[in-house]
Every structure is written in structure tokens, then in C-alpha cells.
Amino acid sequence: MGKVTDIPNEDNILRWIKNKHLERSVDGKEVIGLFHGAFRLREGESYLSVNWIEFFDGNEKQKLSKTVDDFRNGLNNRRLSPKSLFAKLNVETFKKTCLQHAAKVIILHEPDKIKSHTAIRQLPQDNALLFDDICNLAFDFLIPAENFLD
Amino acid sequence: MAKTTAKQRNYKKPPITEAVLEVRFNESISEVALEKLAFKQKSTFTIQKLESAGIRLSSDGKKPEALDRRLEGYKLIENIDSANIIQFKPKVFSISRLAPYQGWDELIKNFRKYYKLYVNKKNKSISRIGIRFINRIDIPKKNRKLIEEADYLNIYPQVPKKKFPPLFEWSIHTVSKVDDSRSLSVNSYTYNEEILIDHVSIILDLDVFQVENLPINEKSLYNELNKFRDTKNKFFEMMITPECRRLFK
Amino acid sequence: MKGLESTSALSRQIDIQSSGAGKVATFYRNMTESYDEERTSSSYSNVKDDDNRTTEENLFDNRADLKILTSHYAVEHISAETRKQLFNQIDWLLDPEGWEEGDRFANSESFKVLVKFMLNSHPRQAPSLGLTDDGNLVASWRFGDNRLVLECLPDSHIKWFVSCVFDSAPERASGEVPSLKRLLDVLLPYKKAGWFKGKWVK
């Protein structure tokens, strides 16, 4: 693992949201929300994995594209589902949202095989209202994965 | 032969969970032909291979092992809503319709379509025909602990009226001869799981079948199946009360 | 693991049927269903071969299991429109194109809890469906600004979350209950949120 560093509050992180965590309208035509599972830890995980967008250079579009490419390196040849989405969140806003629920999270750049890999630690798992706020935050900036597919 | 009843009741909410039409034959279809027949329907159905196996269990902590695996046939589940299910077995053809029941005409129409494929223009010798309708009747308890079966059903276990503890679970199996050719098997039992709150669910499972004086061609088969339906309806209506019928309206 | 998978399929078949009826009645029913050639066989009475199925085939089986469960439990108690919406949601949730390798399939027992909730609560429409990493069904309903989210656990526990606006004031609440009956008790004050219609049986 590479050097662990703090991420500036003005920077942004990207979280991959699988199809199964997307709340679709009854007619299926649009995504109308996110389920809390999009930000819950999986069994055995001790931190939430995200990617640091400003790790890469370039304009907004280029940074996002490089971040997604980097993320895909960690998929170990599994394909990126065209039905999944990415959520962009600001670090400071994320931390403040958690603090409103008395949760002091730590967001650290922890590069490994994935250079932009970032860990969100100390995210409580039993606060449904916190997850609701995080999902609402994430819903504001969703990018379809198919935008990054060839 | 049983007479055809003039009037068929059509309920707004029939309690049918599954309706089955089945024909058994004296001769087998080969495994190769069966597989070909099943996979020809790939565009409309998803195919599941059916196998039976013995199980070896051991006391030394080893995992159970399947033995003597044998192909039983193929189950075809309709892609769209999985409510139409066809089974192709070496000596058996059957079609099942799960809830919501679409009516006899629709069921027999589907039966004819796939029966023709199964027999493949051959006049196969039939060994048994049967129709089976499995009903689930949800009876409101109306804030009582138990229901009075007699209010809804004409078939249920009789117990001594005095000092016998109330039944909260029961099961009945009967077989009777309807006429020289046809038999009726009834299985009825209480469902231990509460599906609708404050309701008791009872299964009424009717199977009308025939193993002698069997139809010798397709036309007479369809005539027989229609008569089976009349028979089934007649006995189903006999087994339920007017109060029960109100539940299906 | 060939043998185990077939054995698992057989025991799963019996378990699913065992949870429905009284134990004695179920044992009799299962034995006769599988081995009694006197009876016209239903579609439940067979063991399927689980070996060598692709992810796409397994997803179809999962979708079919949920739809067959709906037929079996709901019978005619949900409208054709709601059924159609629910099946569409199942199709989108378990679509091969959206599926991630390694994810757990939808748990049938969890789905059963959801169907029973729908039968007893009379929602205006089918929910939006999601899945947890454990394979439990997540269901949500929206009506205006009001949202209800349930996570149905296979042991009939249900986690619930509401977000509503009443008299222009937003409120949120969440909890976990051990049974469907308790869930309906807990949600009763929120019935005016608009997700449901009709009377609830107490």
C-alpha cells in the first residue's frame, strides 16, 4: 500500500453504485433514489471504498474518466455494468453531514493497486437517518457508468 | 359417463393456486427426442432439467452425496410471468397454470398447442389422464381463535362434539370412484402459516383422474378433459358452502 | 460439488413446502407429492438440476422463483396491474445486464415476507425493489414527498424507514420489528402518508 494521506475538504470522491441499490420508478424509466445499501459496508469490510477524483489531473471530464479507469483496475477483469452509476460527493459536505449525526468519519487516501483508492472510516452502520442523508447527497450528482464505456 | 353440468360458476377471485392437466402414456420418448422437444421452445420458455437422485448421508461429517442420478424430464417455465409451466417427461406430458387463473378455455388452448408437439402426430397409447386443481381458501377468523369449518366447507374432519380439544391443524386424504372410469382424489389440509392476518388458510386439492376406458385419439381426449372439468367443478361446489363462495366474489 | 447441489435443491424444495403447512400434513404431502404416482403431479413436485447453469440461467431461475412465489401466495389478492409492476421490478433488479458477478441472488424467504406485507397492507402500487448484499429484498414506496422503505429479512424481521411531510413539517423515523403484525401496528400512524389504500386487519 502507498502513503496514506488526508484528502482536502474542497475535493471530491466517487462512489460506485450497483444496479441493485438503485431505486427505480415503478415504470422503471428513471432512477428516483438510492437505497441505503449503496453506502453500507459489506461483510468483512472495515471501511467504505471510494475514489479520489482530484488525484488525477485535467478538466472535470478528464479527471472523472481517469478515476473510473482507475476504479476499473480493481474490478479484476469483471465488467463494469452499464446499469450501474457513480455518485460524486464533496468531502467537506460528506463530513459535515456525518457530523450532524455525531459521526466523525475519517476520509483517507490509501492507494493500493488502485491509485486513487480512498477509505471512509468510522462510518456508523446503524443510523438509518444518516444513510438517508448520504443517499440524498449522492443523488444530487449521479453519472451513468455507461458514459465511461467504449 | 358423468353428465355435463349446464352452468359453470365464474368467480371474480377464484382461489386456484395451480391448475394442472396431465396425460401419461404407455410408451416412452427417448432422452434425445425429449431434449430436442424441450429446447425447441427456448424462445418462449426457460428450460430446467429435472433429475431425481438418491442421497447418501454419512455420520462422519462428509457432505451428503447424490447417487444414481436419473433424468426425469424437463420443466419449461414461461419467460414473461412464470405462470405457465410445461413438463415434458419420457412418459408424461403436463401443463400447469399458476395464479392468476385465466379460465378453462385458455388452459385447454395451451394444452392443445403443446400436446400436439409432444405427441408429434403419433397416436400414442394413453395410460392415464388427470386434471388437478389446487385451491387455497383464506377464511377470516373475525377475531376468533379458531374458525368453524362447517361454515365454509362440507369436507373436514369430524371430531366428538363434547370434551374433545379443538383442532388447530388437520389433514384429509380421500379417493372415491366417480363412475366406472373416473376417480376423484381430494387432499385438504390447514396451512400453518398465516398469509392473511386474522385468516386461516385451507388447501382444497382436487384431482380427477382416469386409468381405464381411456380415449383413443386426440378429439376424444379433449372431450374427456372437458368432462373432467365439469366433474371437478361439480365436486368442488359440493365441498364448499355459500359463505365460502362469497369469499371468491 | 455436484451431489451437494442436487441435494441442496431437494432439501430446499422440501423446506419451502414445509414452511407452508403443518409439519405432519407437510411431511405427508411431500412424500406423496414426490413418490405417489397415483396423483396428477403439480409443478412443485420435482427436483431440478442446479449443476452447470450459467449466471443468466441462475438469474432466470431466481426471477421465476420470485414470480412463482407471488402466484402461490398472492393468488388473486393483488391486482393485475400491481402484479405486472412487481414483475417488471423483479426483471430490472435481476437483469443479467445489471448483475454483478459474486452478488447474492434474491432470497426467496425474504421475498415471501414482502409479498405477505403487500397482501395485508394493500399498497396502491408495487414497490421499487432493491437488494442488500445479503440478498434480502428492499422495497420502497413513494407518494408525493412521503417515502417508505422496508428491508425484509428471511426470519420475518423487517427493518423500516419512513420519511414524510405532514402539515409542511418533515419527519423521519426508523426501526426494526419481529413480525408483519408488529410492522402494521408501527406503520398505522403513517397510513395517511398515502402509500396504502383500504382497511388493515388488526
Residue C103 and residue C97: Cα distance in Å, rounded? Answer: 13
pLDDT at C15: 37
Give the distance, in angstroms, between the CA of residue B77 and the centroid of all CA atoms in the same chain.
16
The set of residues, in sequence order, having a beta carbon less than 8 Å from that of A15 and lying 6+ positions away, is A38, A39, A48, A50, A51, A86, A87, A89, A138
Under a CB-based contact definition with an 8 Å cutoff, are residues A108 and A119 in contact? yes
Confidence label for B145 from pLDDT (cuts 50, 70 and 90): confident
Q: Which amino acid is at C79?
A: S
Angle among Cα C181, C183, C185 to the nearest 5 degrees reads: 75
pLDDT in tens, A63-75: 999 999 999 988 8
Residue B204 and residue C19: Cα distance in Å, rounded? Answer: 18
The set of residues, in sequence order, having a beta carbon less than 8 Å from that of C195 and lying 6+ positions away, is C123, C124, C141, C142, C143, C146, C148
Residue C26's alpha-carbon distances to A144, B203, B219, C12, in angstroms, are: 48, 12, 38, 14
Domain ranges of chain B: 16-26+95-246, 28-90
What burial letters (b/e) apply to C67-101, b meaning 16+ CB within 10 Å?
A: bbbbbbbbbbbbeeebbebbbbbbbbbbeeebbbe
pLDDT at C45: 60
Q: Which residues pair with C172 in a beta bridge?
A: C163
User: Cβ separation of A37 and C138 shorter than 8 Å?
Assistant: yes
Contact residues, chain A to chain C, C-beta under 8 Å: 18-28, 32-33, 35-37, 40, 42-43, 78, 81-84, 128-129, 132
Chain C residues within 8 A of B16 when measuring between CB atoms: 75
Q: What does the DSSP assignment read for B165-218?
A: PPPS--EEEEEEE-SSSEEEEEEEEEESS-SSTTEEEEEEEEEEEE-SS--SSH
Under a CB-based contact definition with an 8 Å cutoff, are residues A21 and A37 in contact? yes
pLDDT at C33: 53
Confidence label for B121 from pLDDT (cuts 50, 70 and 90): confident
Confidence label for B122 from pLDDT (cuts 50, 70 and 90): confident
pLDDT at A36: 97
Among the partner residues C88, C134, C149, nearest to A28 by beta-carbon distance: C88
Residue A139 and residue B149: Cα distance in Å, rounded? Answer: 54
Domain ranges of chain C: 1-52, 54-193
Chain C residues within 8 A of B173 when measuring between CB atoms: 28, 32
User: Cβ separation of B169 and C24 shorter than 8 Å?
Assistant: yes
Q: Which ipTM did the prediction report?
A: 0.92
User: Cβ separation of B82 and C6 shorter than 8 Å?
Assistant: no
Is the CA virtual torsion B140, B145, B150, B154 positive or negative? positive
Residue B161's alpha-carbon distances to B44, B154, B156, B170, B200, in angstroms, are: 55, 17, 14, 16, 21
DSSP-assigned letter for residue A76: T
pLDDT at C105: 96
pLDDT at B3: 38
pLDDT in tens, B27-49: 999 999 999 999 999 999 999 98
**Rounded mean pLDDT, B95-119:** 96
pLDDT in tens, C20-51: 434 444 555 555 454 467 889 888 765 566 66
Confidence label for B71 from pLDDT (cuts 50, 70 and 90): confident
State the average pLDDT for chain B: 91
Phi-psi region at A102: left, alpha or beta (left = phi > 0; alpha = psi -120 to 50): left
User: Cβ separation of B50 and C49 shorter than 8 Å?
Assistant: yes
Q: Which residues pair with B82 in a beta bridge?
A: none
Chain C residues within 8 A of A20 when measuring between CB atoms: 93, 98, 100, 103, 130-131
Residue A60's alpha-carbon distances to A54, A65, A88, in angstroms, are: 9, 9, 12
Residue C49 and residue C10: Cα distance in Å, rounded? Answer: 10
pLDDT at B70 over 50: yes
pLDDT in tens, C134-181: 999 999 999 999 999 999 999 999 999 999 999 999 999 999 999 999
- More confident site: C184 or A3: C184
pLDDT at C35: 47
pLDDT at A17: 97
Chain A residues within 8 A of C102 when measuring between CB atoms: 78
User: Cβ separation of C98 and A23 shorter than 8 Å?
Assistant: no
Among the partner residues A23, A82, A128, nearest to C161 by beta-carbon distance: A128
Residues of chain A with pLDDT under 70: 1
Q: Count the alpha carbons within 13 Å of B230 in the hemisphere toward its beta carbon.
A: 14
B154 to chain C, minimum CA–CA distance in Å? 20
Q: Which chains touch B (3 or more CB pairs under 8 A)?
A: C
Q: Which chains touch C (3 or more CB pairs under 8 A)?
A: A, B
Query: How many other C-beta atoms can be found within 10 angstroms of the C-beta atom of residue B153?
Result: 19
Q: Which position has the grid cell 448520504? A: A134
C-alpha torsion angle, residues B204, B208, B209, B214 (rounded to 10) = -170
User: Cβ separation of C39 and B207 shorter than 8 Å?
Assistant: yes
User: Cβ separation of A20 and C103 shorter than 8 Å?
Assistant: yes
Residue B215's alpha-carbon distances to A25, B15, B94, B183, B234, in angstroms, are: 53, 30, 16, 15, 22
DSSP-assigned letter for residue C177: E
**Rounded mean pLDDT, C52-72:** 92
Q: What percent of chain B lies above the pLDDT cut of 70? A: 97
Measuring CA to CA, which residue among A5, A17, A104 is closest to residue A54?
Answer: A5
User: What are A147's three cell numbers?
Assistant: 458514459
Under a CB-based contact definition with an 8 Å cutoff, are residues A84 and A31 in contact? no
- More confident site: B1 or A70: A70
pLDDT at C20: 40
Q: What does the DSSP assignment read for A98-146?
A: HHTTT---EEEE--SSSTTEEEEES--SS-HHHHHHHHHHHHTSEEEGG
| Bridge-based pairing state of the strands A22-24 and A31-34 | antiparallel
pLDDT at C30: 52
pLDDT at C11: 36
User: Cβ separation of B53 and C4 shorter than 8 Å?
Assistant: no
Instruction: State phi, psi for B150 to the nearest 5 degrees.
Output: -60, -20
Chain B residues within 8 A of C1 when measuring between CB atoms: 63
pLDDT at B80: 87
User: Cβ separation of C161 and A19 shorter than 8 Å?
Assistant: no
Residue B234 and residue B220: Cα distance in Å, rounded? Answer: 21
